[in-house]
Amino acid sequence: MTRMTRIRGSNQPHEQHQQYSQRVFAVGVGRWRRRHLKVALILAVCIAIAVLLTSLLPQPWSDVASNARNGSSRTLPTGSEHPEFTGPNKYEALTAWNNLHTELGRNILEDGVVTPDELVEVRKAYNACLSVYGMQAKTITDSNGEAIGESVVPIRGSMSGEQQSSIVSQCGTESDYRWLEPLANIQASEQSTKESQ
């Protein structure tokens, strides 16, 4: 039989238990730290991948200002060939003609009149341009259903007001909506004035 000798005042089993508890605690904390370190590392990698993928996605609104400055949005050559516009809006029609960017715009304005159906076609081109940048033009109507204005609203993404204004201006110019819409409104107003007299 082996005798265990104990030194008086020594609490050997308690000390052994305490050391064991400290080792278990250290191992547990080590596992906890390793687990959280792994989770943090995985999250960091996921965030880095997301940022990388986001930076690779097309951002069509990012170069709007440079497009306007460097002339990548040019008018069609005018020369001296243009229709002989007549009537009270001949100067507005000539100004519009000289600033048109599309064959569609030229074909519409060739006769000097922008009909509501023709304006719908130009508006489609304008909205197609806006949709590339995540925006859409909506018509504001009064209680009778008459158009009284227009609002351009974002349908996806986010950008500053300055970027939105640049895009609206660029798309209005490139689709010829900027020039044909006011001319159509003037002509429609004159037509309704004639009809009411």
Digit-coded pLDDT (tens) for 93-137: 888 899 998 999 999 999 988 998 999 999 999 999 999 988 888
Verify that 174 and 82 share a domain, yes or no: yes
Verify that 17 and 104 share a domain, yes or no: no
**What is the four-CA torsion angle of 104, 94, 71, 168, rounded to 10 degrees?**
-70
Residue 85 falls inside a structural domain: yes
Range of the domain at 41: 11-57
> Token pair of 36, please?
């959280």
Verify that 87 and 18 share a domain, yes or no: no
Residue 143 falls inside a structural domain: yes
pLDDT at 186: 87
pTM for the whole structure: 0.57
Verify that 25 and 69 share a domain, yes or no: no
Verify that 37 and 77 share a domain, yes or no: no
Average pLDDT over every residue of 164-191: 89
Residues in the chain: 197
Verify that 114 and 177 share a domain, yes or no: yes
pLDDT at 30: 65
pLDDT of 168 above 50: yes
Contacts of 12 (CB under 8 A, 6+ apart): 6
pLDDT of 45 above 50: yes
Nearest Cα to Cα of residue 120 among 133, 137, 135: 137
Structural domain count, the chain: 2
